[in-house]
């Protein structure tokens, strides 16, 4: 499975509220897993907190290979919460493992952080953000 196919399956799982599949896609060293060390706790949280979020669309705008073989994907996402749509950008770090690609962490930019056209955003917009907060 390619990294792009992994992302497609991850977003499908989010759309389908298949939170166990979302959880299974995290890399073992993902900072997120410090907050949710087991799938049951995450699934309970997700059903309560994420079930109202609708993934309207997503796309991978760019990707770059890192020296260690991992990849960063610059994603555009449009989500709706209670019928209100919002767009944001995510710089997702994916790591290729023996089990396939896994989601490690991401840095996010909202509409207030980047106001240009989606086709013009690039990695430098994330590289210049300080402090770098990865989720």
Residue boundaries of the structural domains of the chain: 3-127
pLDDT bucket at 67, cuts 50 / 70 / 90: confident
Distance between CA 34 and CA 37 in Å, rounded? Answer: 6
Residue 130 pLDDT exceeds 80 = no
pLDDT value of residue 94:
97
Q: Which phi and psi angles does 37 have, rounded to 5°?
A: -75, -10
Average pLDDT over residues 25-39: 93
Average pLDDT over residues 9-16: 94
Average pLDDT over residues 20-30: 96
Fold of the CATH domain 3-127: Nuclear Transport Factor 2; Chain: A, (3.10.450)
Model pTM score? 0.90
Taking only the tens place, the pLDDT of each residue in 76-105 is: 999 998 889 989 999 999 999 999 999 999
Residue 132 pLDDT exceeds 70 = no
Measuring CA to CA, which residue among 118, 121, 122, 111 is closest to residue 58?
118
pLDDT value of residue 112:
81
């Amino acid at each position: 499975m390619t990294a792009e196919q992994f992302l497609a399956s991850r977003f499908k799982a989010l759309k389908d509220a298949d939170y166990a599949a979302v959880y299974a896609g995290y890399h073992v060293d993902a900072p997120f897993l410090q907050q949710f060390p087991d799938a049951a706790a995450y699934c309970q949280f997700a059903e309560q907190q994420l079930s109202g979020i609708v993934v309207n669309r997503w796309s991978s705008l760019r990707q770059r290979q890192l020296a260690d073989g991992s990849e960063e994907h610059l994603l555009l996402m449009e989500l709706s919460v209670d019928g209100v749509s919002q767009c944001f950008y995510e710089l997702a770090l994916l790591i290729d493992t023996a089990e396939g690609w896994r989601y490690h962490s991401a840095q996010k930019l909202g509409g207030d952080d980047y106001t240009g056209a989606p086709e013009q955003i690039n990695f430098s917009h994330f590289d210049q953000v300080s402090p770098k907060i990865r989720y």
